[in-house]
Amino acid sequence: MTNNNENNKKNKQSLNDMLMNILFNIIIPVMILKKGPNLIDNENAAVIALCVALSFPVGFFIYDYIKTKKTNFISILGFVSVLLTGVIGIFQIPNEYLAIKEASVPLIIMLICLGSLFTPFPVVEKLIYNDTMFNKELINSKLEEKGESSKMPIVMRNATLIVAASFSLSTILNYTLAKKIVVSDPITHAAQRTQEIGDLTFWSYIFIALPCTIVMGFAIYYIVSQISKLTGLKTEEMLNGDFETEEEKNNND
C-alpha cells in the first residue's frame, strides 16, 4: 500500500508539472504574443510583448530549477532556445535565422542521441529507461537469472535510434513551420511578426510535439515489449506505475 500511495503522489505531481509546463511555456506566451501588440499603447509594443511573453518560460525554467535542483541538457537547450527567440525578435534579426534556430534545437538533440550510441550510456537510458519509470533492480536480476543481460545494449541502441528519428522529424517540421508562418518583415511589420511568432509557438506544439510524443510512446512500447520477452515480466511488474497486484486488490476489497 505504501508503494501505491507513493506512486499516486508521483503521478499527481507529474500531471501538475505537465499542466504547469503547458501553461507557462505555451498558453500564456501565445496569448501575450497574439494580443499584446494590439493592447500595449507604445511604439515598441511588439518588442515589449515579446519580452513579457518570453519571461514566462524563462522564469518557469529558473523557478523549476531552484525548486527541484535538477536539470538536464535538453531542458538547457530549451532555455537557450527561448532566449534566442527573444534575441532574434528584439534585435529584428531576419526570419531566416529564426527558422534555423527553430531547427537547430531538435537537430542538436538528435546528434546527441546518435553520439551517445558510441558511449556506454545511450541517451534513452536518461529519457526513458530510468529508475523513475522502470523497476530496474527487478529487471536486472531477471536478466541475470535468464542469462539475457548481454542483449540489453541492443535494446537500448534500437530505442535510441527511434528517439533520434523523432527529433529528426522535429527538425524538419520546425524549419518548415517557421518558414511558412513567420514571413513579415521584422522592421516594417514588427507587431505582425510578433503575432506570427505566437502562431509558430502554438502550431509547433501541435504539429511537432504530438508526432514526437507518439514516437516516444513507441520507443517506450518497444523497450517494454523487449524486456518482457527477455525476462518474462509483465508490464505492471517492470514499470514503476500506479499498478496493484491481485493480492493488493483483494486486500483493498
Answer positive or negative: Cα dihedral of 138, 236, 226, 216. Answer: negative
Convert the pLDDT of each residue in 22-31 to its tens digit: 788 878 888 8
Convert the pLDDT of each residue in 131-142 to its tens digit: 888 999 999 999
Nearest-angstrom CA–CA distance, 83 and 100: 14
* Exposure string for 132-165, b = 16+ CB within 10 A, e = fewer: ebbbbeebeebbeeeebeeebeebbeebbebbbb
In the chain, how many domains are there? Answer: 1
Provide the residue count of the chain.
253
Average pLDDT over residues 191-215: 84
Greatest Cα-to-Cα distance within the chain, rounded to the nearest angstrom: 71
What percent of the chain shows pLDDT beyond 90? 30
- Secondary structure class of 22 (helix, strand, coil): helix
- Residue 27 belongs to domain spanning: 2-252
The alpha carbon torsion through 224, 132, 66, 103 (nearest 10 deg) reads -10
Answer positive or negative: Cα dihedral of 19, 22, 24, 30. Answer: negative
Q: In Å, how far are 28, 45, 186, 211 from 224, measured between CA atoms?
A: 36, 51, 48, 20
Grid coordinates belonging to 103: 531547427
Q: What phi and psi, each to the nearest 5 degrees, are found at residue 128?
A: -125, -60
pLDDT of residue 156: 93
User: Would you say residue 242 has pLDDT above 90?
Assistant: no
Measured between its terminal Cα atoms, the distance across the chain in Å is 13
Grid coordinates belonging to 125: 537510458
Average pLDDT over residues 101-127: 88
Convert the pLDDT of each residue in 19-64 to its tens digit: 787 788 878 888 888 888 877 877 788 888 888 888 888 888 888 8
pLDDT of residue 176: 94
Contact 33, 49 (CB under 8 A): yes
Q: Name the least confident of 4-13, 175-184, 196-205.
A: 4-13
Convert the pLDDT of each residue in 75-99 to its tens digit: 677 777 777 887 888 788 899 999 9
